[in-house]
Amino acid sequence: METGERPLIAVIILLVVGYLAGAYILTQAFLRPGRPPKSMEGPLQFGLTHETWTVPGSRVPAWYFPADPDKDAAPYTVVLVPAIGGTVFTLQTESLGPFIRRLHDQGMAVVSVPGFQPRHIIAVLEAVRDRGLPGPVLMGFSIGGSTALFVARTTPVAALVLDGVVDDLGRVLWKDLRRQGPVVRILLPGMRLFAALHRTVSAALHAADSLPAVSAPVLLVYGEREYLLQEGMNRRLSAAVTSRPDGDVFIVPDTGHCYGPTDHPDLYAGRVLAFLTSTNP
């Protein structure tokens, strides 16, 4: 082997490995169900009781927080879809416990989805209807919001709440990986290739394209310090939502990506509840 050929072969091997590694990482991120909680201390510390539901096709049960029988029944059951890098279980423990408590205080039941595959979301929505629970509200966070929006195109929901939804996953990946150095950027082509081939991920590539097919009222939530929104990456989706007679956009002041429930729990819960009240037929 000529000495000059070795760097070229090394680069080719690195690119191939990068493609495969990037595709594998995105596969694990999007297609594996959420991890089961280590304990129920988070929800329990807010006085929340729960049941577990077996979601078809998932090894992880969903959590169901039934409505308080001593309160007037609300017209909605809220179904939560998690963000990437943290399941709804983590969000419930660290930030969503008080928010779920507020929903519960208004007579609502809450169900979490283990991961954000469309088939898992649809299975939970079907379980809500099969149990005779009131019309489901679908609420997704970040990439979970993208797949929730994708599901709402064909699966009826009473309302749709999207917090920090990513409209263009390809640009998000490039923006984040660009800051990690040249070696990490090698993963991006494999991620983009996998995203283009798999509908679960491709649903998040251009979320705004799903909006015209959604018949439910939509509330779009972003943090004021949401770096994606500041660079204009979600302005198309915001404009599309505000142009709808049943659409609204809520900018949470002085907070970042999906941190509204943590940084401003009362304001956040109040605004979401006001939207749901306004959509109640």
Query: What is the per-residue pLDDT across 163-216, written as a single tens digit (0 to 9) for each?
Result: 988 766 666 666 666 666 666 666 777 776 766 666 556 555 566 778 888 999
Instruction: Report how far residue 200's alpha carbon sits from residue 141's, in angstroms, rounded to the nearest whole number.
Output: 15
Distance of CA 208 to the CA centre of its chain: 15
Question: Are 261 and 149 in a shared domain?
Answer: yes
According to the model, what pLDDT value does residue 204 have? Answer: 58
Residue 243 has pLDDT above 60, yes or no: yes
CATH code of the domain in which 153 resides? 3.40.50.1820
Distance of CA 268 to the CA centre of its chain: 17
**pLDDT digits over 51-103, tens only?**
888 877 776 678 888 888 888 878 899 999 887 655 454 454 556 778 888 88
Last residue of a domain, one of 179, 205, 231: 205
Mean pLDDT score across all residues of the chain: 77
What is the strand order of the sheet 109-112 is part of?
A: 51-53, 62-65, 109-112, 77-81, 136-141, 159-163, 218-223, 247-252
The closest of 110, 134, 127, 116 to 55, measured between CA atoms, is 127
Question: Are 229 and 183 in a shared domain?
Answer: no
Q: 137 with 82: CB under 8 angstroms? A: no
Question: Are 201 and 179 in a shared domain?
Answer: yes
According to the model, what pLDDT value does residue 92 have? Answer: 47
Domain of residue 220: give its range: 35-167+207-279
Question: Are 66 and 112 in a shared domain?
Answer: yes
Question: Are 179 and 41 in a shared domain?
Answer: no
According to the model, what pLDDT value does residue 126 have? Answer: 92
Q: 236 with 166: CB under 8 angstroms? A: no
Question: Are 194 and 108 in a shared domain?
Answer: no
Instruction: Report how far residue 272's alpha carbon sits from residue 2's, in angstroms, rounded to the nearest whole number.
Output: 66
**pLDDT digits over 98-139, tens only?**
888 888 888 899 998 877 778 888 899 999 999 999 889 999
pTM of structure: 0.82
Average pLDDT over residues 32-60: 64
Q: Which helix (H) or strand (E) holds 186?
A: none
Q: Which helix (H) or strand (E) holds 85?
A: none
According to the model, what pLDDT value does residue 70 have? Answer: 82
Question: Are 194 and 218 in a shared domain?
Answer: no
